[in-house]
Amino acid sequence: MKVHLKNILLQFKQIPAFTDNYLWVLVQNQQAWVVDPGDADPIIEFFEAQQIILKGILITHHHQDHIGGVLKLQDWAKGNGQKDFLTLGPLHPQISMVDRVLQHDDEIDLYPDVRVRVMAVPGHTLSHIAYFLPVGPCNPIPRLYCGDTLFAAGCGRLFEGSAEQMYHSLAYFKELPDDTLVCCAHEYTMSNLKFACFLEPHNSDLLDWAQRAQKLRDQHQPTVPTSIGLEKKVNPFMRCDLLSLLKSAQQHSDKPIVTPIDVLATIRKMKDSFS
């Protein structure tokens, strides 16, 4: 009879960096994957304290606060005699340090019995990708590592992509299970909630979450991860197909707003200058 080793549950670590970034780490059996190491120092500190080795790096997009620590982390691992870690990310000239370029629907085995799915989510940048970790033998709750595409109650700025691309990227996230944890890369929640409440002042789920989020921030606690289910209830950029959002956007636009993509384009532009 074949003997199965007991599955070891994944552990998750959320490491604050810079002023409002979160770096995400997945650990199993003292081996870690790091998502978007914009800064290597807090990760190295964590690894050395816990005697963890680097198994790999997952990059969502090429902005410096997501890749700035990649080379230092690679050097640290090599300096410790590690050779077999991998660096994976999207196709972009500024992400030349990857061992393998990832594409939409690629699946990566992070550990035995732990596989992530790659989603192409253009909008914030053109080659932005996200990583979805479904429920599995080692993971009881699905997780989404979405970089700067989806934030708690907001979405990333459209630096390279169009509103249409962002709309489809967010629509793709809406198909994920409601309990999927949204592991985004920034603590922008209070600013986003202020704007969301401006657009939807009568959304009771939103008002309730804004109060709870404020309490968390008052106690210096993170407001992320949130969940896809919550984002669908409170995040205006995930609700562009609702008539209430269309009416709200129309009040602030000279042009006729007809489609959900018009709504997203309008409210994204509004948010860029909202304070």
Binding residues for Zn ion (CB under 5 A)? 63, 148
Return the closest-CA partner of residue 146 out of 239, 241, 22, 233.
22
Please choose, from the candidates 83, 65, 55, 86, the residue with its C-alpha nearest in 3D space to the C-alpha of residue 18: 65
Question: What's the gap between Cα 240 and its chain centre?
Answer: 20
The pair of structure tokens assigned to 33 is 């994957």
Considering the complex, state which of residue 14 and residue 211 has its C-beta at the smaller distance from Zn ion. Answer: 14
Q: Decide whether 148 or 200 has the Cβ nearer to Zn ion.
A: 148
Cα separations (Å) of 8 from 5, 141, 256? 9, 14, 55
Cα–Cα dist 262/164, whole Å: 8
Helix, coil or strand: residue 183: strand
Q: Kindly state the smallest distance separating residue 77's Cβ from Zn ion, in Å.
A: 24
> From residue 122, how far is each of 35, 149, 186 by CA, in Å?
18, 8, 18
Pairing of strands 31-35, 53-58: parallel
* Residue closer to Zn ion, measured from CB, 87 or 149: 149
Closest approach of Cβ 33 to Zn ion, in Å? 20
DSSP class of 216: H
Least distance to Zn ion, CB of residue 61, Å: 6
CB of 124 to Zn ion, least distance (A): 6
Instruction: Say whether the peptide bond before residue 225 is cis (omega within 30 degrees of 0).
Output: yes
CB of 66 to Zn ion, least distance (A): 6
* Nearer Cβ to Zn ion (59/206): 59
**Closest separation in Å from C-beta 259 to Zn ion:** 26
Helix intervals (H) in 60-174: 64-67, 70-79, 163-174
| Listed residue (144, 183, 139) closest to 14, CA to CA | 183
Closer CB to Zn ion, 38 or 142, in the complex: 38
H/E stretch holding 178: none
Nearer to Zn ion, 39 or 148 (CB): 148
| Cβ proximity to Zn ion, 63 vs 268, nearer residue | 63
CB of 272 to Zn ion, least distance (A): 14
